[in-house]
């Protein structure tokens, strides 16, 4: 029998507010343990939380950017459970009246667009962190609890089970990250745990409409992990079903070193959490005016920006997608083409040499040693035939090292393209004289040998001869 995978994601994103959700403690990452704490986030008796307005604003922004309906009456609830990183023994979250519902994002996989529905977005506080003496809790004699993260604001974005492959799940998470970056509500630094996903997956016979039993993998904080864990889990469940067994509903962990998922605990149900309304916080009332005001602050979002690059700049849908996936890259691209530079050339350089160098150096495009202004200047030198694309690679490497002005580099290194017919003719003549065999081959009908001769001329000119002129001159001379 063949099976179809059904996947739904719960994405947690830390919001980039300066202070925590219910108190004035700083949210800064990496501070010394238990230095950003107060009676409120430690849950001491007698304290009263007050909701951070910025959190509500950011959640509304995310809701609108993810095409949700905003609930004008929304409230907080207590989700009760015990764990040492949760000092109050409940997490202040939202249950039946989340801030936003019924949204969607569109993803592109294999050249087709697919809509993934978003069930809900709710606000909640993050828990603290256990810091183990050893690598894992099992081989540690002791663990410290660090409450700095306790009360850092989160939004949880819950999708419908609309994804069918690991690739779609990855594309979905990438799109959500991209949108959150565009609207500037989260740092989205996945390695710092700013953005992490609980991944739910089940299998069902192809063609069936009913959902199978799912397993959930918690806290995956890289795209690669989401993809790998899903691929592994789909195979594991398939084997169970093929052997006539049943998948059990449980929470599993992804062991990234071993590349396998392991059973952690059977899944708790909503009633296990004894959700109850939070009595210490007032409900959140949102007005049409507030919603309209926040809508106005939304920037052009990735999909709209991609369409603009396709329609106005003539980029392919793939190139436009890559460039607009990151807001920083889209802004860099815009800064380059603002200098009246050919958009396709700009896209090729940004996605090619620039991206390659950035990757190798572990830098983001905002940290690029080659400024958008200088890259634009260099591309103009190609467009007006001052340098060939081949020489441009040398100029680019030099810019990467020094961030010098490309015009200066070209002058100092004598890299200006030779477009003087006489000068090129001189080299062509020498090459023709020195290579009688390929010349005879060409004249004998093997026209491919011209490639070799072009190569020799380019080499003799140290890459500076204009290739189109070399080709033209060689052809003329060889057919004389
Ligand atoms: P739970 O009660 O276990 O938290 P929810 O209904 O809240 O489950 O759904 C959590 C996530 O799991 C959602 O993203 C949802 O789309 C997804 N999901 C629910 N049922 C399934 C299923 N049978 N297979 C795959 N994903 C599912
Ligand atoms: Zn505090
Ligand atoms: Mg749930």
pLDDT of 462: 80
Which CATH code, of 3.30.420.40, 1.10.10.410, 3.40.50.1110, 3.60.21.10, is assigned to 421-478?
1.10.10.410
198 Cα to the center of ligand 3, angstroms: 10
Q: Is 40 helix (H, G, I), strand (E, B) or coil?
A: coil
Residue 51: what are its φ and ψ, rounded to 5°? -75, 135
Which of the residues in the chain have pLDDT under 50?
A: none
Q: Report the nearest-CA residue for atom 2 of ligand 1.
A: 269
The Cα–Cα gap between 189 and 170 comes to: 16
Which of 165, 196, 212, 214 has most ligand 1 atoms within 8 Å of CB, for mutation?
214
pLDDT of 176: 97
Q: Report the nearest-CA residue for atom 14 of ligand 1.
A: 8
Which of 7, 161, 165, 252 has most ligand 1 atoms within 8 Å of CB, for mutation?
161
pLDDT of 267: 67
pLDDT of 449: 86
Q: Which ligand is nearest to the CA of 204?
A: 1
| Ligand 1 nearest-atom number relative to CA 200 | 26
pLDDT of 459: 86
158 Cα to the center of ligand 3, angstroms: 8
| CB-based pocket (< 6 A), ligand 1 | 6-10, 158-161, 200-202, 211-212, 214, 267
pLDDT of 423: 82
118 Cα to the center of ligand 3, angstroms: 13
Q: Is 260 left (phi over 0), alpha (psi -120 to 50) or beta?
A: beta
Take residue 171 and report the two structure tokens written for it. Answer: 């594309």
| Ligand 1 nearest-atom number relative to CA 202 | 24
129 Cα to the center of ligand 2, angstroms: 15
- Among 194, 205, 260, CA closest to 233: 260
- Kindly list the protein residues that place their beta carbon closer than 5 angstroms to ligand 2, a single-atom ion: 23, 25, 38, 40-41
pLDDT of 480: 77
Domain spans of the chain? 3-290, 300-413, 421-478
Q: Which ligand is nearest to the CA of 39?
A: 2
pLDDT of 446: 86
Q: Which ligand is nearest to the CA of 94?
A: 3
pTM: 0.85
List the 77-80 sheet strands across, edge first: 90-93, 77-80, 276-277
């Amino acid at each position: 029998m063949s099976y179809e995978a059904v996947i739904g994601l719960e994405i947690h994103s830390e919001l980039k507010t300066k202070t925590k959700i219910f108190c004035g403690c700083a949210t800064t990452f990496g501070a010394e343990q238990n230095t950003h704490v107060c009676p409120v986030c430690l849950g001491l008796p007698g304290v009263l939380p007050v909701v951070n307005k910025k959190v509500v604003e950011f959640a509304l922004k995310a809701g609108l950017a993810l095409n949700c309906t905003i609930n004008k009456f929304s409230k907080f609830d207590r989700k009760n459970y015990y764990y040492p990183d949760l000092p109050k023994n409940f997490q202040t979250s939202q249950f039946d009246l989340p801030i936003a519902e019924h949204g969607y994002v569109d993803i592109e996989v294999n050249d087709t667009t697919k809509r993934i529905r978003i069930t809900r977005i709710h606000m909640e506080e993050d828990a603290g962190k256990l810091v183990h003496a050893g690598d894992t809790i099992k081989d540690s004699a002791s663990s410290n609890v660090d409450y700095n993260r306790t009360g850092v604001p989160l939004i949880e974005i819950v999708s419908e089970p609309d994804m069918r492959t690991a690739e779609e799940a990855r594309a979905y998470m990438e799109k959500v990250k991209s949108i959150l970056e565009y609207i500037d509500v989260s740092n989205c630094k996945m390695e710092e745990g700013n953005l992490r996903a609980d991944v739910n997956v089940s299998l069902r016979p192809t063609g069936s409409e009913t959902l199978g039993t799912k397993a959930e993998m918690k806290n995956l904080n890289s795209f690669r992990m989401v993809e790998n864990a899903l691929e592994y889990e789909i195979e594991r469940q398939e084997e169970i079903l093929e052997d006539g067994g049943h998948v059990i509903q449980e929470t599993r962990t992804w062991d990234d070193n071993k590349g396998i998922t392991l059973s952690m605990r059977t899944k708790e149900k909503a009633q296990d959490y004894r959700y109850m309304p939070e009595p210490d916080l007032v409900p959140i009332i949102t007005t049409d005016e507030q919603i309209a005001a926040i809508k106005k602050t939304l920037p052009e979002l990735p999909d709209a920006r991609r369409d603009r690059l396709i329609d106005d700049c003539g980029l392919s849908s793939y190139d436009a997608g890559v460039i607009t996936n990151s807001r920083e890259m889209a802004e860099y691209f815009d800064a380059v083409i603002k200098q009246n530079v050919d958009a396709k050339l700009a896209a090729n350089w940004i996605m090619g040499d620039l991206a390659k160098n950035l990757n190798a150096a572990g830098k983001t495009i905002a940290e690029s040693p080659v400024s958008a202004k200088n890259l634009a200047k260099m591309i103009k030198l190609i467009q007006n035939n001052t340098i060939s694309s081949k020489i441009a690679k040398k100029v680019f490497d030099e810019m990467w090292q020094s961030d010098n002005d490309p015009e200066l580099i070209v002058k100092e290194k004598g890299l200006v393209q030779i477009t003087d017919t006489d000068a090129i003719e001189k080299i062509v003549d020498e090459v023709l004289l020195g290579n009688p065999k390929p010349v005879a081959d060409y004249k004998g009908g093997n026209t491919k040998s011209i490639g070799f001769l072009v190569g020799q001329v380019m080499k003799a000119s140290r890459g500076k001869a204009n290739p189109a002129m070399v080709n033209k001159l060689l052809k003329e001379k060889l057919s004389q």
